[in-house]
Every structure is written in C-alpha cells, then in structure tokens.
Amino acid sequence: MEQNKFFKFGLCILACVFIVTGFAFPVSSKEKASKEKLKVGFVYVSPIGDAGWTFQHDLGRIAVDKTFGDKVETKFVENVPEGAEAERVIRDLAKSGHDLIFTTSFGYMNPTLKVAKLFPDKKFEHSTGYKVAKNVGTYLCRFYEGRYLTGIIAGKMTKSNSLGYVAAFPIPEVIRGINAFTLGAKSVNPKIKVKVIWINSWFDPGKEREASEALIDQGVDVLTHHTDSTAPTITAEEKGVYAIAYHSDMSKYGPKAHLTATTHVWDKFYTQITDDVLNNKWKSKEIWGGIKDGMIELAPINTKAVPSDVVKMVQKTEKMIVDGSFHPFQGPIKNQKGKIIVKSGSHLTDKDLLGMNYYVEGILGNIPK
Amino acid sequence: MNIDILLNIFVATIAAGTPLVYAALGELITEKSGVLNLGVEGMMLVGAISGFIAMAKTGSLVFAVLCGMAAGILMSLIFAFLVLTLMANQVASGLALTIFGIGISAFIGIDYTSVALKGIPPLNIPFLSDIPFIGRIFFSYDILIYLSLVLLTGIIFFLYKSRAGLILRAIGENPKSGHALGFSVIGIRYLAVIFGGAMAGIGGVYLAVLYTPMWVEGMVAGRGWISIALVVFATWRPLRVIAGAYLFGGVTIIQFHIQGFGIEISSQFLCMLPYLATIIVLVIISRNKNTIRLNSPASLGTTYHPATN
C-alpha cells in the first residue's frame, strides 16, 4: 500500500516535471561556424507574422539573403523578450559564429552593448537606441516624415475634426510621431484635435482594440496608431471610420478604412551594412534615415476615399522633404499652451527631436510621467 | 459626455467582462466540488488557440466553440487525473497546468500569430435591435454573450434548486459524508473539473475569435487568474462573480475613455486599476465572516482518498 502510494506520487511529480520542461527547449541551436560565409544574425522582439515591425525587418533580412546568395547566411531568432533573455540569445548568436548581429528593439540596447564588449571582433547594429561603442552602431528611421504626410491626409479626410492616436509608451520616438502627425493635420486643417490613448504595450491586440473603440466612440473619425498589431485598422473598418496604419500596408485588413500607412523599409540599409562588413569597410555609425534614404515610405494611398488633390498635396510635400526645402518640424510651432517654441524660419535639430518630451498645440491631454 | 458615449461604454463593458464570466463560472463549479484548479489561465489559452485555429480553418463559430471546449476539457482531464486519480497536490498541479498551457498554446499557435480573423458582427435581431436605446442595451451583442447569461441562469438553478447541485455542494463541504451516502466523490469531482475546463475553453474562444479577434501568445493576459480571484472574493456566489467580472470589464474600458478625454491620471496607474478596483470592491461587499463561512466549500483544495477513510 505505502509503496504503491509512493510510486503514484513519484509518477505524478515526473509528469509535472515533463509538462513544465517539455516546452522550454532552447530557442536557438548551435551551429558549426563556416569560414567562407558571413553569418548575419537578427534578433526580433515579436513573431514575424504577416504585418508589423518585425515583419518589415524580416523583409530586409530576406533582401540580404537574395542580394548576396552564397556569400551570406542569415539567421533570425523571433519573439525574444527584452532583458536577460535577449542577452542570452545575442550571446548565443555571437558564439555560434555570427559576425554581424542586428538587434531590432529598443530594449536590446544594454544587452547588445554587454555582449559586444565580450566579442570585440564581432559587429553589432542596434535599432532605435542611443548608445554606441566601437563595434556597436545604431540605426533608426525618420518616422516623423511619414507621420507628417499621413497627418495631411487625416486633416483633409476628417469631418468631426477629431483624430485618434493609439500609442504604446511615452518615449521621444512615439511622442515625435504624434507631434508630426498633429502638425501635418494642422497644416491643412487648423481646427483638428488629436486624442491620444497610451496602452503601455507595443503589441497587445486586445488593448489596442479597446483603445480604438474608445476613441471612435468619442467621435474620432480618422484613427492611427503607434503599436504593432492590425487591431486598430480592423476596428476602424468595423466601425466605419478611416484608419492610417503603421509599419506595414494593412489595407487587406480594412479595405475601406485603410487610407495609407507609414512604413519602414530596411532592404537597402541591411544590404549596405552587410556589404560594408563583407568588404571590411564597416564602422560604428549612428544612422538616422528618412524618405530620402528609402527607409520610410507611404503605403499606396486609398484613392477610392482620398481625393486626387490631397494625393497631389502629399506628393508635393514629400518631394520638398526629400530635397530639403521643407522640414516637418519647421517653425512656427506652438506648444500646448500656445507659446511659440520654434520660430518661423528655423527648425528643430536632430538633438531636439531625439529628446522630444512635450506635445505641440492641438493634442489633448498630457504625456504620462 | 453624452448618453451615446455612456451607452457605448456599457456595451463595451459587457463584452470585456464576458471571458471572465465564462472562466469564473466554470471555476466556481469546480471549487464548489472541493477542487481548487489554478490552471484556468492555461486552459483558457489552449481553448483560445484551438478555437482560433478551428475558426481560421472552417469559419464556423459553432465548430470553434466546440473545439475550444474540447481543448479545455482535455486540459482539465490532465489536471483531474493528476489530482483525483493520482491524488497529487492541487495547488502544485494547477500551477503546472497553467505553465503547460502557456507553453503549449504558444507552440501550437506559432503559425497563427498575428493572423487576423474576419470579425463576426454581433447578432442583429429584426425590430428588437433597431429600437433606440433599448435595442442597443439589450439586443446588440454576440451570441456568446447571450449564451453566458443562459449558462448563468442554469448554474444558479443547478446549484440552489436542484438535487444534483445539492450533492455537488455536499461533496465540496464534506466528501466523507457524501461517500458514506453512496455518491462517487471522485466521479462527481471529475465532472466538476471537466465543466470548469469546458467553460474556460469557451472563455478563451470568445477572447480569441470574437473579442480581439486575433491570436497572440499569452493573450489571456492574467484573465484566468482574475477569474480565480473573482470566485474567492465573491465568496463562491454566482451573481457576485458576474458582478465582479463586469466591474473588471467596465474599469478596463473606462480607463481608455478617461485618457481619450484628456483627464490627467497616469496611464500606468489606469492600467493597474481594473485589477485593484475589482478586488477592493469584492472584498468590501463580501467582508461578512458568516457569508464567507457559509459559502466557501469546506474541503476546498484537500485531497480525498475514499479507501483510507
């Protein structure tokens, strides 16, 4: 009897152990380093899926594969949480012979620098960060250029003069986008107001949906977002309002709602950096590319909804941004209190933009602190 | 703020609370039989991904719900086998079930991440849905929301008006007496755990197929845990459990509206509010010691071994 009980207990413990450990297998497996090929590693914060931040980066990785063929071997690890887990994944990639590693999320900054110290002969490129080292470069897009252009469309298309913005975290990167969008909209429609809801998450379709619904219920008729999922576009489609997507062209999720999207394109950048490493020309740089560099593009504008004069206006502004005759953050710009913060004739410098922590006139509410 | 916004908040609240209604009612029945299943989160996740895949493949909501239920039942059977047949510790096995559920649902769902389903429009009942105001409050929901209310009525009737419910409660109070009266304690507890699994499964399906509608790893996001807390803090009474679930849904929705209106409260605080508000309110309405003693199943969480008693 006792023995039987003991046996059952043991069996149960064993079952639990199997259950718990069974699915915690390591994310990346070690591979033999081959000497001829350059191995390039990519660390992604979310699954690739079929739209969004990581999806766009993966398109860039595929472009590298296609361009260099046999000379390069790429590998990616997706869905890597920021923090200690990221450090382990980056170190694994470096150990397994990857000479160039792209880490594609803000929270990988410190892990990347830490691992880079341990592997001084490997090259690292960290996206959206602000810390560099001898073997760590940073790269980022001037999303605000695209945001400004989509703001023009939103300002022209709104009837309620109320625009909605679902935002992730109150960091300069996101605030800059909200400001640029507002300035773009105000440039064609001074009456607009922008409502912002922060959901404190990059990717949470449930919250993104709830926030989108709340904005639409409050009278917003053009919705945009700085979060990763297609939920805002889907919600806009269901509720019969317009949406301006982010990251990828999301028109298939809202054929009527989708006006355009601010998309980022990494093909050129990733191929260039890989080429530099292959030719031993690589240097640690801080790259901040925009429309001019082919890193920011607008998704095809929905011409069924957007009148052609608006499309022309957007194209004209786009050209002016490319040739440098126009800057989205050029004066006069007023802050929320109506005080002029950028005088007419000047524009914000990159340093001002990188540390942006205030709203411009036209945005409701305050930045959470 | 006008009446339309209030109406919209109300409708959104019901939808946001519904996954909790399912999971918590299921857990209520399980706990009433004396078994504490902490695996609700895991069962909901597995139910969610199974229902999502079924929906993506066939487009049939009925089939998706059935698949979600089946998956929830399978998960609960693992738990039931461990704690009822092998008499393992209920707390440890429940925790293991949740961890297992998080892992396996992520694993099964790899190919379905950020695939979007076409949303299913809510029921549109001729005439009734068109009545201003009343039509919006009562007749503008998904079918699963109406089903949850039918189930609620059924559960109240079952627990307090039927003989079978009395037996279930008796076994939760004192399994020895139940055994002495000739009832199969283990058999009845199996059924109660399975019911809990099926309900958690539907809750998951609702979340992934109707509410979001999208699959994301770990998308249940603590709702399973909140369901367990609801049952305890609502002192095992179905109507209070439901009230707690809608309260949670309501605070979730209102925090977004507060931000939209530009009212100055930190958004981090607002994100925490649903959890905090629900638990505080339930603790206050259920603080009477006698109610707790009367309603909590006395044998909750303890292993029952028929042969040694």
Res. A153: pLDDT tops 80: yes
Please compute, for residue B250, the number of CA atoms within 13 A of its CA located in the half-sphere on the CB side: 12
Name the residue of chain B whose CA is nearest to A365's CA: B262
Average pLDDT, rounded, for chain A: 88
B97 in A contact zone (CB under 8 Å): yes
List the CATH code of the domain at A38-141: 3.40.50.2300
> β-strands A193-198, A222-226: how paired?
unpaired
* Other Cβ atoms closer than 10 A to A24: 9
Contact flag B114-A52 (C-beta cutoff 8 Å):
yes
* pLDDT for residue B296 is more than 70: yes
Report CB contact under 8 Å: B216, A205: yes
Domains, chain B: 3-119+126-308 (1.10.3470)
pLDDT of residue B99: 96
With cut-offs at 50, 70 and 90, classify the pLDDT of residue A33. Answer: very low
Read off the pLDDT band of B129 (50, 70, 90): confident
pLDDT beyond 80 at A79: yes
Question: Is A283's pLDDT higher than 80?
Answer: yes
For chain A, how many residues are written? 369
Q: Is A368 within 8 Å of chain B by CB?
A: yes
Would the pLDDT of B187 be above 50?
yes
List residues bridging with A263 in a β-sheet. A247, A297
- The answer, for A206 touching chain B at a CB cutoff of 8 Å, is yes
DSSP letters, A195-259, are: EEEE-S-SS-HHHHHHHHHHHHHTT--EEEEESSSSHHHHHHHHHT-EEEEEES--GGG-TTTEE
Search chain B and give the residue with CA nearest A165: B260
Q: What confidence tens digit (pLDDT) does each residue in B215-242 have?
A: 888 888 889 999 999 999 889 999 999 9
Question: What average pLDDT does this structure show over B94-119?
Answer: 87
Q: Is B91's pLDDT higher than 60?
A: yes
Whether residue B132 is preceded by a cis peptide bond, meaning omega within 30 degrees of 0, is no
Query: Are B82 and A22 an interchain contact pair (Cβ–Cβ within 8 Å)?
Result: no
- Find, in chain A, the residue whose alpha carbon is nearest to that of B254: A214
Q: What is the ipTM of this complex?
A: 0.80
d(CA A75, CA A85): 17
Task: Report residue A17's pLDDT band, with 50, 70 and 90 as the boundaries.
Answer: low
Q: Which residues of A touch B217 (CB under 8 A)?
A: 47, 79
Indicate whether A6 pLDDT > 60.
Answer: no
Nearest-by-Cβ selection for A205 from B103, B214, B256: B214
B271 chain-A contacts, CB cut-off 8 A: 199-200
Whether B28 contacts B236, CB under 8 Å? yes
Q: Where would I find the beta strands (DSSP E) of A78-217?
A: 100-103, 123-127, 136-141, 162-167, 193-198
Q: What is the mean pLDDT of residues A28-36?
A: 46
Say whether B88 and A215 touch across the interface (CB within 8 A): no
Provide the residue type at A96 as one letter: S
Query: Count of A–B CB contacts within 8 Å?
Result: 134
Q: Residue A355 pLDDT > 90, yes or no?
A: no
Domain boundaries, chain A: 38-141, 143-263+296-354
Note whether A231 contacts B: Cβ–Cβ < 8 A: yes
Contact B211 A206 (CB under 8 A): yes
pLDDT > 70 in chain B, percent: 98
Task: Calculate mean pLDDT across residues B171-196.
Answer: 94
Q: Which residues contact B307 (CB under 8 A, 6 or more apart)?
A: none
Question: What integer is the mean pLDDT of A3-10?
Answer: 55
Summarised one tens digit per residue, pLDDT across range B136-168 is: 788 888 899 999 999 999 999 999 999 999 999
Residue B51 · residue B109 · CB < 8 Å: no
* pLDDT of A24 above 60: no
Say whether A143-263+296-354 and A38-141 share the same fold: yes
CATH architecture of A143-263+296-354: 3-Layer(aba) Sandwich (3.40)
Q: How far is CA B296 from the centre of its chain?
A: 18
Report whether A264 contacts A247 (CB < 8 A): yes
